[in-house]
Chains A and B, each alone.
Chain A
Amino acid sequence: MTWVPFLTVGLGLLLALLFAGVPVFVGFLALNILGVVVLMGPAGFGLFTNSLFETATSPTLATVALFVLMGEILFRSGTVDVLFDSIDRLVGNLKGRLYVVVISLSTVFGALSGSAVAVAAMLGRSLLPMMQSRGYDAKLSAGTVLAGASLAPIIPPSLLAIIVGSLADVSIAGLLVAGLIPGLVLAGLTLGYVMLRMGPQPEEEPGSTQQPDRSRIEAALRMTPFLLVIFSVMGLIMLGIATPSESAATGVAGAVLVAALFGRLTLKMLSEAIGSAVAISAVILVIVCSAKLFSQLLSFTGATRGLVSLTADLGLGPDLTFLVMMLIPFVLCMFIDQIAFMLLAIPIYQPIVKAMEFDPVWFWTLFLINLTIGSLTPPFGYTLFALKGANRDLTIAQIFGAAWPVVTIFLIGMALLWAMPGLVTFLPEALK
C-alpha cells in the first residue's frame, strides 16, 4: 500500500499548486519531477524524458491540432457564420434556438472528430464568440458547447470506442454502433435542459427575425458546400480511405475548399489560422504531455492498479460493483488522461466484467461515457481546459459553473442507460 501516501501527498500538492494559480502544465510537471526524484532518484530521469518524448510524438495528438486548425479556417474565413446563419434561419424563431443550433452543430462536429478536447477547442474558438457577441448567456452557451463536445467520444466514429474495443476484446463495430443511441439520448437530455432553462413562453431571441420560405430554401442551399467538409472527415473514414488522424487533415483541406468556394480564401487568413491553431493546440497538448507523465507515476507506485484491485477485493454484488467500477474512472479521469487510464484499467476490469456477467458492449459503452464525464468534471477535466484555452473571454469560474449541469445531465443519462440496457444493446444486436 505504498501508493496511499504517494497519492495523498501528490494530489494534495497538485491541488495546492493549481489553486494557487500555477499554470496547469507546470503543476503536473512539478509533481512529476518531484515524484521521479523521490521514487526513483536520478535513475528515473530517463523515464521522465522518455515519457515526454513518447507523448509529444503520439500521432493521435496531431488530430487535436488538425481539428483546431479546421475550426480556425472555418471561423476566420467567415464560413462558420454562413453555416450558423443558415441553420439559424432553418430552425426558425424558437425561443433559445441558438442553443439548439449549437447543440446540433456541436453534435455534428463531435460526431466528426471523436475527440472532446478537439471539439471543445474548435467550438470555443468559432461558435462561442458568435454567441457571446449576440448576447447569449455565457454559462449556458459554454455548457452547450461542453455537452456537444462530450458527445464526440460517444457518437460514432469514436477513437476511444476503438481503443476500448481492441483492449477489452469486444466487437469494435458493435461498440461503435452502440454509442449512437446513448449519444442521441444525451443530446436530447441537453436540449431538454436548455428548454427548461428557457421557460415555456416563446420569446424573441437576439438577432432573430421570422424568415420566409424562400429565404429558408436559400439558407439550405448555402449550407451544401459544408457537406464537403463532412464528407472529407466522416465520408473518408466510413469508406475506409483515411484513418481518423488523416481524416482530420482532409477535413482541413475540405475547410480550405469551402473557404475558397465562398471566395474567402486568402493567404493572410490561412497564416493567421495556422498561428492561432498552433497557439491553442500547444496550450492543450502541453497539458496532455504533462498529465501523461503523472499517470505513469501513478502506475509506477501501483496507485491506479491498487485502487482498481481494491474494488475487486470488496466482494460487493453486481450493482454495487458496477457503481464502484464507474466511480474509479469518474474520479481518476478528472486528473489523468483517458487513454492512459484505459490502458491500465481495462485488463483489470475485464475479468470482473466477465465474473459479474455484465453485457460487455453495455458495460464498456457506459465506461466510455463515464471517462468522458470525468474529462468534463471540475476542477481538472481536460475538456474544460481546452475550452478555456480556446476562449479567453470565459473565466475558469464560468466554465466550471457551466460544466456542473452538463455533468449532472450526463450522469442522469448514464442512470437511464443503466436502467434500460436495451438503449445501448439494441443496435448492436440488430446488426448481428
Chain B
Amino acid sequence: MSASALHDASSRLLFRLAGAALAAIVVLYLFEVSARYLFNAPTTWSGEVVRYALSVLIFFALPEITRRGSHVAIDIVPSVLPERLQSALLRAGFLLGSLVCLGAGAIAGREAVRQIERGLMTNAAHPIPRWWITAIIAIGLISAALHFARNGLARKPAA
C-alpha cells in the first residue's frame, strides 16, 4: 500500500471514529435524561464524555473533509479569474492551508508533550490526561495539513 493510500485509509478510519463520537453523544445525552428523570440518578460523567466526544467529532473528521475538499471558501474572486490564474491561486491556497495546519498541529503537538511532562489533567469531576484531547487536535490538524499539501502539489489540484 502506498503512503498516500495509507493516509487516505487513515483519514477514512478517523472519520468513522468521528461518526461513532456523534452517535455516542446522542446515546450519552439520552442516557443522562433517562437517568435523571426516570431513575433520579444523574451522572457526573456523561456531560464530560460528551465534551471529549465533540473534540473527536471535529478534529477526527477534519482530515477526511479536507481530502474531499469540503471546506467553505469564498470563491467569488477566483471564479472570475482566467483558468491558469485560478489554478495557481487554488494551489497556493492549498499550500498555505498545509503550512497553517502544520503549524497549528505542531503547536498543539508540542503542547501535548508539555502536558504529558507536567501531568496535566482536565478540569472535571472525572479528570483525564489533558494531552489525550490535545493530541486528537494535533492529529487532525497534521493529517489535514498532509491532505492540503498533497492537493497543492498534485499535477491538477482538485477544487
Contacts and interface: CB of A to CB of B under 8 A. Distances in A.
Interface of A: 17-26, 29-30, 33, 45-46, 48-50, 52-53, 56-59, 61-62, 65-66, 69, 236, 241-242, 245-246, 248-250, 252-253, 271, 274-275, 277-279, 281-283, 285-287, 289, 379, 385, 388-389, 395-397, 400
Contact of B96 (A30, A250, A278, A279): A30
B139 interface: no
Interface string B93-122: 100110011011001101100100000000
Given A49-B137, A59-B51, A396 B18 contact: no
Contact of A49 (B15, B26, B65, B108): B108
B74 A379 contact: yes
Interface in B40-56: 47, 50-55
A275 B19 contact: yes
A46 B108 CA distance: 8
Contact of B137 (A21, A22, A53): A53
Nearest to B54: A62
Contact of A252 (B26, B96, B97, B114): B26
A44 to B, nearest CB: 9
A49 B111 contact: yes
B133 A65 contact: no
A69 B53 CA distance: 15
B153 interface: no
Contact of A59 (B50, B65, B96): B50
B103 A249 contact: no
A69 B26 CA distance: 10
| Nearest 9 interchain pairs by C-beta | A249-B29, A282-B61, A23-B71, A49-B111, A21-B78, A57-B51, A56-B55, A26-B97, A30-B100
A282 B25 contact: no
A21 B100 contact: no
B74 A26 contact: no
20 contacts: A21-B73, A21-B89, A22-B97, A25-B72, A29-B104, A30-B96, A49-B107, A52-B137, A53-B55, A56-B133, A57-B54, A62-B25, A62-B53, A241-B37, A245-B50, A246-B32, A246-B33, A278-B18, A279-B70, A379-B74
B61 A278 contact: yes
Given A21-B73, A21-B77, A397-B76, A278 B62 contact: no
Contacts of B15: 275, 278-279
Q: Chain A contact residues: over half helix, strand or loop, or mixed?
A: helix
Contacts of A249: 25-26, 28-30, 33
A26 B97 CA distance: 6
Q: Which of A57, A245, A395 has the most CB of B within 10 A?
A: A57
Contacts of A389: 70, 72
Nearest to A380: B74
A281 B111 contact: no
Interface residues of B, number: 57
Interface in B102-159: 103-104, 107-108, 110-111, 114, 130, 133-134, 137
Contacts of A65: 22, 25, 54, 57
B58 A19 contact: no
Given A19-B74, A21-B77, A246-B29, A281 B57 contact: yes
Given A56-B58, A289-B58, A23 B107 contact: no
A337 to B, nearest CB: 15
Contact of A279 (B30, B33, B61, B104): B61
B75 interface: yes
A242 B62 contact: no
Q: Which of B100, B130, B133 has the most CB atoms of chain A within a 10 A radius of its CB?
A: B100
Given A23-B97, A53-B134, A242 B33 contact: yes
B23 interface: yes
A388 B71 CA distance: 10
A49 B25 CA distance: 23
Nearest to B16: A275
Contacts of B54: 56-59, 61-62, 65
